[in-house]
Structure 1
């Protein structure tokens, strides 16, 4: 049986951040007898170790140099990428030119185009997959799909125009809408992380199929923790150093306002409530692990309870620390579509999740659905010191947990079904 070739444009794949885990975990559970996977990603930054290659038995990863649209790219480089969304042949025409030497998506398309031609000539099926962000990956997938008239899946992990992402301004918002329309036009399937985002795509693009592909956890990552004595010892040493004997450990991992500025208000609320309630904060230690903004560090410095702040740590160590927490803290803001990647690792780690949030959102819906925790709204009178005290109590209202729908194994089955239908069209 001829294989289905997947050309996956995933700029973050070689990094160790949470965005990289979204498709990395899915791809490795696809049937190697059915799929051949080509991943086009960016080279890791200088001095940053590359993440491990995927475990899919028939996968090849191409780490490529070059800039993507964003704060690090020059204006001409960004304009070239955005122009390619409207002039599909442009990146192929510029593949060997000096002007495009620093454009990541041009390098990725040059390799993908050659491989795609080979596989199509051999009578095999091909599908292009783009994973946002950055926008370059979606444009590359649309370009390859349009050139060879193959199936295309565009994955909008964080959406693009549904909520205010990126720099504000009417011109940028209008440009995001135009770019989104162009990359969606080449797709047969749109996926995103939460129902509010998917409903928005369905409303604005009624002729396209849109499905929820939530973030998730990889069971293998947690199964491997017991065999990693090095990170296990590191985690034990950190807990011994920072956490007072007998104290309940409440952990927060990753970014807060750097991902969603409105979530910083939930941090302020959490600090203020614990400061004001001796009973709620008694015998508790809160550990923040990850990237924090200067204002968030200033908020934490106001804490009158036991607290520690650690710089970002290697992912295995972060998971080991999560496993040692009695409670896991999730801080979200005013974004209705929020289903941050850390939530799913929280689910797998096993501790009850306490979510402080500005609104009920996708994350709070998942907590209610799975029975893995509870949410406290910053704007409700009930979300005060008494509610937080109960949420942080040892029992915490633990319910029956069912997180199976968020396993990468289950989600890979969904992806397989979608792709199989796509190549039969």
Structure 2
């Protein structure tokens, strides 16, 4: 199995999507090659122990996006329409190539070897960035092997990229090209899956939601150093006896409309001293300049810790009485942090502009409740009730979002691709 997952070695929550799934595949059945980008110099790659035979290829080079030059981006996008192109370029100086070319050079060599040895091969591309989808399409086309194209985010439906007619047109063309080679399209939320089924009725599309890895949370109990660090942070930032409400990860940096939900939270707590009394809101992760400015208006107890390594974030998450989810106007939103929230067992409070995939999951699992910013005025009793220590749902069921369960589903799909 060849997996193009550019974020695999990053600290981004996106990295957890396939990192957790692949390690639960049967090592007697699967040999897995993962092509990722090299982690930034200040990061250390998180390569958790795995039962599967997994080989990682951390490769340099830019991907399509704000960091990439126009020339590099055009070459990668052109490869969606001229699939032999990156293979023709692979013989030049490797250090000067975009990530796509370097990843395909390694994958092409390995795939040729495995096919010559009589092994069955499949390829997976996971968006974003779009480079991974293009790489998977190129490899599948070259070797005529099974292909799964995974859309963690919407490329056409509720896209995360910059707006504009030309960009929208290009996204649609590129999506059509990468989907053309796919035996299976997977996506994370019902709105995205429904959209793919409507626009590509001749393709098989299935739901592969994000999830949590039980092993991540099982290991926390033996991490005494992490416990001590988390306790020291809480002692420094959280008033004694306060109900701790934690928000982890990004807000508007991922979805600009979600910042409005932060404004709603600030206004509501400012307008109701009763609701804010004896509570502390802790933000762990990257906030935008406008979000920090919004918090400067806060008249309640809060702290901003900035980014921390994932293991420490999980320790802090486990210490929270409530976990805060802020979403905006995207109905397909099923942000990765939600599933780690589910695994902690704490009650989740979601403030959202619309009812979306995340709010549906909370209702389905009994793991929390939702407040819509358009319903009621700030200072109302809804937030006060949601933040009540007594709120709980006796029918909590999160089993469907375990990576162990999802790996079985992935195994079933892959097996159908290679077995007539």
Q: TM-score scaled to structure 2, two decimals? A: 0.98
Partner Cα separation in structure 1 for residue 159 and residue 122 of structure 2 = 30
Aligned with 1:420: secondary structure?
helix
Aligned with 2:91: secondary structure?
coil
CA contact (8 A) 2:272 2:379 kept: no
CA distances 1:258-292 after superposition (whole Å, capped 9, x unpaired)? 00000000000011001101111111000001000
CA contact (8 A) 1:69 1:77 kept: yes
Which residue is 2:338 aligned to? Answer: 343
Partner Cα separation in structure 2 for residue 274 and residue 336 of structure 1 = 26
Q: Which runs of 5+ in 2 are unaligned?
A: none
Aligned with 2:195: secondary structure?
helix
The verdict on how the C-alpha distance between 1:56 and 1:141 changes in structure 2, with shifts beyond 3 A counting, is farther
The verdict on how the C-alpha distance between 1:373 and 1:77 changes in structure 2, with shifts beyond 3 A counting, is same
CA distances 1:102-152 after superposition (whole Å, capped 9, x unpaired)? 211111111111111111111110001001111000000000000010000
Structure 1 position 94 matched with structure 2 position 92:
no
Q: CA deviation at 1:57?
A: 3.4
Partner Cα separation in structure 1 for residue 167 and residue 256 of structure 2 = 18
Aligned with 2:299: secondary structure?
coil
Q: CA deviation at 1:383?
A: 7.4
The verdict on how the C-alpha distance between 1:177 and 1:43 changes in structure 2, with shifts beyond 3 A counting, is same
Partner Cα separation in structure 2 for residue 103 and residue 23 of structure 1 = 23
Structure 1 position 108 matched with structure 2 position 103:
yes
Q: CA deviation at 1:242?
A: 1.0
CA distances 1:335-388 after superposition (whole Å, capped 9, x unpaired)? 000000000000001110000000000000000000000000000127753010
> Which of these residues, 10, 26, 32, is aligned with residue 5 of structure 2?
10
Structure 1 position 356 matched with structure 2 position 351:
yes
**Which shows bigger deviation, 11-20 or 189-198?**
11-20
Which residue is 1:3 aligned to? Answer: none
Structure 1 position 387 matched with structure 2 position 397:
no
Which residue is 2:300 aligned to? Answer: 305
Structure 1 position 400 matched with structure 2 position 395:
yes
CA distances 1:287-330 after superposition (whole Å, capped 9, x unpaired)? 00100001100111111111111010010110001100000000
CA contact (8 A) 1:95 1:110 kept: yes
Partner Cα separation in structure 2 for residue 326 and residue 383 of structure 1 = 22
Aligned with 1:414: secondary structure?
helix
Q: CA deviation at 1:39?
A: 0.4
Partner Cα separation in structure 1 for residue 25 and residue 165 of structure 2 = 41
Aligned with 1:153: secondary structure?
strand
Q: Which runs of 5+ in 1 are unaligned?
A: 1-5
Residues 151-190 of structure 1 mapped to structure 2, 5 A cutoff: 151-190=146-185
Q: CA deviation at 1:54?
A: 5.4
> Which of these residues, 280, 283, 288, is aligned with residue 285 of structure 1?
280
> Which of these residues, 12, 15, 21, is aligned with residue 20 of structure 1?
15
Which residue is 1:64 aligned to? Answer: 59
> Which of these residues, 70, 80, 83, is aligned with residue 85 of structure 1?
80
CA contact (8 A) 1:100 1:106 kept: no
Q: Alignment RMSD, CA only?
A: 1.2
CA contact (8 A) 2:244 2:282 kept: yes
Q: CA deviation at 1:101?
A: 2.8
Structure 1 position 240 matched with structure 2 position 238:
no
Partner Cα separation in structure 2 for residue 375 and residue 119 of structure 1 = 49
Partner Cα separation in structure 1 for residue 217 and residue 379 of structure 2 = 34
Q: CA deviation at 1:48?
A: 2.0
CA distances 1:63-101 after superposition (whole Å, capped 9, x unpaired)? 111111111111111000000000011111111124983
Aligned with 1:265: secondary structure?
helix
Partner Cα separation in structure 1 for residue 143 and residue 95 of structure 2 = 22
Which residue is 2:255 aligned to? Answer: 260
Q: TM-score scaled to structure 1, two decimals? A: 0.97
